[in-house]
Structure 1
Amino acid sequence: MSQFRFARLGLIVAALGLNLAPSVVGLSSVAYAADAKGETLRPEVGKLLQSATELMKAQKYKEALAKVHEADALSGKNAFETYTTDRMRGALAIAVGDTDTAARSFEASIASGRVADADQIRFAQALAGAYYRAKDYPKSIVWLNRYFKAGGNDPQMRPLLVQAYYLGGDYGRASKEVMADIQAEEKAGRTPNEDTLLMLADCENRQKNQAGYVAAVEKLATYHPKKEYWNDLLSRTLTKPGFSERLNLDVYRLKLAAGQLKSENEFSEMAQLALQAGFPAEAKKVVDLAFQTKIFGTGPEAARQKRLQALADKSAADDLKTMAQGEADAVKSKDGTGLINLGYAYVTTGQFDKGVALMEQGIVKGGLKRPEDAKLHIGIAYHFAGQKAKAFQTFHTVQGTDGSADLARYWLMLVNHPIN
């Protein structure tokens, strides 16, 4: 789950490269430049720096840097000459890839007190990009933070900071920064970028934070619903700490609805669980689908699968004959469990209205041993009956720590964001 792309970021970093070198100098004619205090460059200094400027414009950065070194070697420089030399050396050092020299030069320029706030931002931006290209991520982070602290607001710099934390191995901080970006997007009503969410998932995985990883995959399945994300999410559900085996059939129901029920074992297990739970019509549908899609009937288990189909067919037919009597018994029962189960059985036969009505009676009657399961099942029934608003409302009410609330949340995700 770490295939997020760095291509666009590479373009951003490139933009912080050589094209910034001339701009951070900010002197169009150094030979006649003067500062606010009236200090000027002596002719011997100005001539060398002017020559460096011309070479810089021609992108002959090494030659230009050599001229700056000549100027720096002159004795008796005044403060303005030292400042101008430092500033030019910093820009050219970036251009030739000597990032540490650039950093020292810009630090000296800033310490002179002559650098405007806007230029300090540009210095920090240039150095952050240079260190990033050099894969010195800790130093890149230092200058990125200085950039933002100084008031830099280029939106391209934010992902650079996050990537620097990630590539530098600080997955905890990267995760924190990525989450802040995701929450900002959500608050603004925008869809978080898929690569950003993949990075969050990868950061949590590298920290062995299972809960954080699953939460990230949930967001991927919500905002970028793809089969691979749903497969990852649902595969982990059955093994989640505290998840009750009682809900295994409900996981398979969700897998089936999400198109994630694929193997012979999964189809077979779901059908058997449905039979054991008293929903033979559901078992029959699962087995029939397995045969229709050639998952059943062709391999070494074909004979056993045929027997399972015959059992499901007979059980479903027998169940239809006794449903009327079952309804009378459920109505007389002291609690609503029988009505809930019978109602869901009707839903599995395609009799949605009748099934939902019975389940609603069961909810009203109360006395349920597992009320959260009942709400989950009637939410599913509402969904299949086309009563979307009621399904949403019901799923939102499901609570519990045994997995029922997770499943209800996943149904909401699936209904709201169908898989691509």
Structure 2
Amino acid sequence: MRFVTPVALALALALTGGVVAAPAMAAKEKKQSGPKLNVSPEVIKALQAAQAAMEKQDFAAAKASLAEADGLSKSNDDKYQVGAIKLNLSITSKDGALQGEALAQMLDSGLTPAENLAQFNEIAANGAFQAKEYDLAIQRAQAALQAGAKPESVQVTIAQAYFGKAGTANAAVEPARGFNQQGLAALKTAADALKAGGQPVPAQWYQIGVSRAAAAKLPEVAEWAKLAYAAEPSGENLRTLIRLFLQANPTLSNRENLDVYRLMSASGGLKVAGDFMEYAEMASKTGSYGEVKSAIDAGRAEGKMSATQMADFYQIAVDKIGPDKASLPSGEADAAKAANGKIAASVGDAYLGYANYAKATAMFELAKQKGGVDMDETNLRLGIAKTLGGDMAGAKAAFTAVQTGARKQVAELWLTYLASKGA
């Protein structure tokens, strides 16, 4: 008696007397010889009844005959063959639960052909994960790897199983923290394998890494955020990276904070009312009245802020903008005559706040030329002016010149943004 099921796993199984052929993979377009089995006569009889029922599409009767065969099985040969027929039935009847049972039976018999071990274990691992049998899923997946399965698929199952073991509550407390670490290691291995094969890594993998690392309070969260942004350079992913930076650096000055929010704005990372409001607040604290107004205008235009939120900040900024702008031409003249670059840097700050990037660039370059200024801040702001003005190459050079402290880290965030733009 012989039958072939060209669906799903496309397994070919044969039953003839007491000697049966093992599953062969149709995708390879050739039959593979399986183990030579000595199946008990009573088991053969039950299996023949199961096959006859399958040919009639009577799946209930086939399952009943297989259950009878299970009860009669004594040796691993019996168990393997029952599992093989059961697997065929699971494919024909599209019964996922039965498929998992069949694969487990075949694998546990120790008789599965070497050429099937990787695929069978991988499928069994996925089934165990779906059933929330996380330890079994890890065991099957590791067996699949040992049999030669591709790590980019199997390691993902291992990662998911460890995350399942960790759960979502108390993620930073052992043993959940350790499970998250193991899951992240597996996910990183899967991602590295994809990249090594020249395939793109789904940004979602990295976003899951960020979420898990953040919940478990693991130090590698920033690295996962960088990878997520590199895979999908969106404002949302850069926002995550920026927020992690701000959390790790709570003592930034108002001026340093402002340059971070400028990046969030430039990259489209201002997403909620708090983002726009914090940007406006930092601009107000540093006297950048043009940005106070533009930040609040943007928040209102996107429906994130109401007309009454930060109304006092807004009105103060509007009242000051006119006189402030009027003073800039004389400020430029004073900067040109000054012995150092402090006035030029201050005027450059103002022009940057009013989105006059050409003027800001000229003033920051004059400030550098005259000296007597904080060169790291001046280079950082020169880089921002050049970025927003469209000079990406010049911006990259300016950011690279920032050498120390928190400003160097802020400059590196801007460089990360530039890299996504091809600069």
TM-score over 0.5 (shorter chain): yes
Q: Which residue of 2 aligns with 1:410?
A: 413
Output the aligned Cα RMSD. 3.9
| Per-residue CA distance 1:382-408 (angstroms, 9 max, x = gap) | 213321112123324434442x23322
CA contact (8 A) 2:280 2:295 kept: no
Q: Cα deviations across residues 126-146 of structure 1 (Å, max 9, x unaligned)?
A: 432332232111111111111
1:18-417 aligned within 5 A? 23=11, 27-31=13-17, 33=19, 45-55=43-53, 58=57, 59-60=59-60, 61-69=62-70, 71-72=72-73, 82-91=75-84, 95=90, 97=98, 103=104, 106-110=107-111, 115-153=112-150, 156-169=153-166, 170-186=179-195, 191-209=200-218, 211-241=219-249, 243-245=251-253, 246-259=255-268, 260=270, 262=273, 265-266=277-278, 268-275=280-287, 282-287=288-293, 290=296, 298-299=307-308, 302=311, 305-329=314-338, 332-333=339-340, 336-348=341-353, 352-353=357-358, 355-363=360-368, 368=373, 370-402=374-406, 404-417=407-420
The C-alpha deviation readout for 1:288-314, integer Å capped at 9, x for no partner, is 663587579942864663233212321
Residue type of the alignment partner of 1:405: K
Residue 47 of structure 2 aligns with an amino acid whose one-letter code is L
CA displacement, residues 341-378 of structure 1 (integer Å, 9 cap, x when unaligned): 4444455556644543443354456565x433222112
TM-score scaled by length of structure 1: 0.72
Alpha-carbon deviation of 1:286?
A: 3.6
Answer with 319-328 or 94-103: which moved more.
Answer: 94-103
CA deviation string 1:17-53 (max 9, x = no partner): x955x93xx6412326268998765755543333344
For residues 170-211 of structure 1, give each alpha carbon's deviation from its aligned partner in whole angstroms, at most 9, with x where no partner exists: 2111111222333445566654313212211122023122x4
The answer to whether the 8 A contact 1:137-1:167 is kept is: yes
CA distance in 2, matches of 1:284, 1:134: 57
* TM-score (normalised: structure 2): 0.72
SS in 1 for 2:143: helix
CA contact (8 A) 1:223 1:417 kept: no
Counterparts in 2 of 1:230 and 1:137: CA distance versus 1, 3 Å: same
Identity %: 20
Residue 9 of structure 1 is matched in structure 2 by none
2:16 partner letter: V
- Change in CA separation of 1:189 and 1:353 when aligned onto 2, cut-off 3 Å: farther
Q: Contact between 2:386 and 2:392, CA under 8 Å: does it hold in 1?
A: yes
2:351 touches 2:360 (CA, 8 Å); kept in 1? yes
CA distance in structure 2 between the aligned counterparts of 1:187 and 1:108, rounded to whole angstroms: 35
Equivalent position amino acid for 1:384 in 2: L
Contact 2:37/2:77, CA 8 A, preserved across alignment? no
Deviates more, 1:389-398 or 1:50-59: 50-59
Segment drifting more, 183-192 vs 158-167: 183-192
Structure 2 contact 293–318 (Cα < 8 Å) conserved: yes
Alpha carbons of structure 1 residues 173 and 258: separation in structure 2 relative to 1, 3 Å: same
Question: CA 1:239 to 1:84, structure 2 compared with 1: closer, same or farther past 3 Å?
Answer: closer
Residue 216 and residue 257 in structure 1: after superposition, are their counterparts in 2 closer, same or farther (change >3 A)?
same
- The separation in 2 between residues aligned to 1:32 and 1:307, in whole angstroms, is 93
CA distance in 2, matches of 1:27, 1:300: 71
Q: CA deviation at 1:160?
A: 2.5
1 CA distance for matches of 2:101 and 2:240?
Answer: 44
Kindly indicate whether the alpha-carbon contact (under 8 Å) linking 2:155 and 2:186 is maintained by their aligned counterparts in 1: no
Separation of aligned partners in 2, 1:39 and 1:200: 46
- Cα separation, 2, equivalents of 1:377 and 1:38: 76
Q: Please give the secondary structure, in 2, of the residue aligned with 1:29.
A: strand
Report the more deviating stretch, 128-137 or 227-236: 227-236
CA deviations 1:62-102 (Å, max 9, x no partner) are 223234236426xxxxxxxx343121233467756596896
Q: CA deviation at 1:162?
A: 2.5
Q: SS where residue 135 of structure 1 aligns?
A: coil
Give the 3 Å change call, closer, same or farther, for CA 104–27 of structure 1 in structure 2: closer
CA change 1:312–1:274 in 2 (3 A) is farther
In 1, the alpha carbon distance for the partners of 2:331 and 2:48 equals 100
How many residues align? The count is 373
* Of 163-172 and 33-42, the range deviating more from structure 2: 33-42
CA contact (8 A) 1:31 1:47 kept: no
**Per-residue deviation at 1:256?**
3.1
- Helix, strand or coil for the counterpart of 1:28? strand
CA distance in 2, matches of 1:196, 1:293: 31
* Cα deviation, residue 231, structure 1: 4.3
